[in-house]
Amino acid sequence: MQPTFEPATPADVPVVLQMIGELADFEKLSKAAVGTAAALHEGLFGVTPKAEALLARLEGQVVGFALFFSNYSTFLCRPGLYLEDLYIRPAYRAQGIGRQFLQHIARLALERGCGRFEWSVLNWNESAIQFYQSMGARPVAGWTVYRLDQFALEAFRDTPA
C-alpha cells in the first residue's frame, strides 16, 4: 500500500505535536522541544502562517510528518523551500515513505517555482546522511549554520552598538 501525503489541518495539531516530541527524543533534544499546541496552531494556521505541515498516512494511520517553509534566494531571485523537520515513525521506516515524502515536497517546490529545496541534518545521524546522499542530495560545502537562540537574541538586542 502506498502512503498518502496531505496538508495538516487544525485538527491534526495534537498528532503533529506528539510526533515533534518523538523526533526530539530521537534527536536527543527533548529539553529543547518546548512548543505548545497553541503556538503550533498559530504557526501553521494563524492569520499569517509561518510554516506548512504535511502528514504521511498509511491505511488511515499517521506515520510521519514534514514541516517546511518558504525562503528566498537573492542570487537566484527565486523562492526556495526549507525543510525544518521530516519524521517517519520507527515502525514505518525503511519502507520508502521518506523518499516518497521528499519527492512529494520536491514536486511542490517545482510547482511553486522554487530554485532549491534545502534542509539540515545532525552530523551524527549517519542513516539520514546516507539516505539523503542516496537521493542525490549533497552537503553545502563552505557553509556553517549560525543561530541566535531566544536568550542570545534578547542579549544582542539590548547590547549597545
Q: Could you please report the per-residue DSSP string of 98-132?
A: HHHHHHHHHHHHHHTT-SEEEE---TT-HHHHHHH
Average pLDDT value for residue range 59-66 = 96
Digit-coded pLDDT (tens) for 14-47 = 999 999 999 999 999 999 999 999 999 999 999 9
Domain containing 66: what range? 4-157
Catalytic residue among 82, 92, 132, 146: 132
State the pLDDT confidence band at 150, using cuts at 50, 70 and 90. confident
Residue 121: CATH number of its domain: 3.40.630.30
Torsion from C-alpha of 91, 93, 97, 101, nearest 10 degrees: 110
- Phi, then psi, of 26 in degrees rounded to 5: -60, -40
Which pLDDT score, from 0 to 100, does residue 117 have? 96
The SS3 assignment for 61 reads strand
Instruction: State the pTM of this model.
Output: 0.92
Q: Is the pLDDT of residue 161 over 90?
A: no
Number of domains in the chain: 1
Note whether 54 and 63 are within 8 A (CB): no
Note whether 44 and 37 are within 8 A (CB): no
Which pLDDT score, from 0 to 100, does residue 59 have? 92
The SS3 assignment for 18 reads helix
State the pLDDT confidence band at 160, using cuts at 50, 70 and 90. confident
What's the CA gap between 135 and 37, in Å, rounded? 33
Question: For residue 95, what are the CA distances in angstroms to 84, 89, 156?
Answer: 22, 11, 45
The SS3 assignment for 66 reads strand
Digit-coded pLDDT (tens) for 63-92 = 999 999 999 999 999 999 999 999 999 999
What's the CA gap between 100 and 92, in Å, rounded? 13
Digit-coded pLDDT (tens) for 88-130 = 999 999 999 999 999 999 999 999 999 999 999 999 999 999 9
Which pLDDT score, from 0 to 100, does residue 92 have? 95
The question of whether 82 is a catalytic residue gets the answer no
What is the number of other CB atoms lying within 10 angstroms of the CB of residue 13?
A: 21
Greatest Cα pair distance in the chain = 59
Which pLDDT score, from 0 to 100, does residue 90 have? 95
Which pLDDT score, from 0 to 100, does residue 144 have? 86
State the pLDDT confidence band at 147, using cuts at 50, 70 and 90. confident
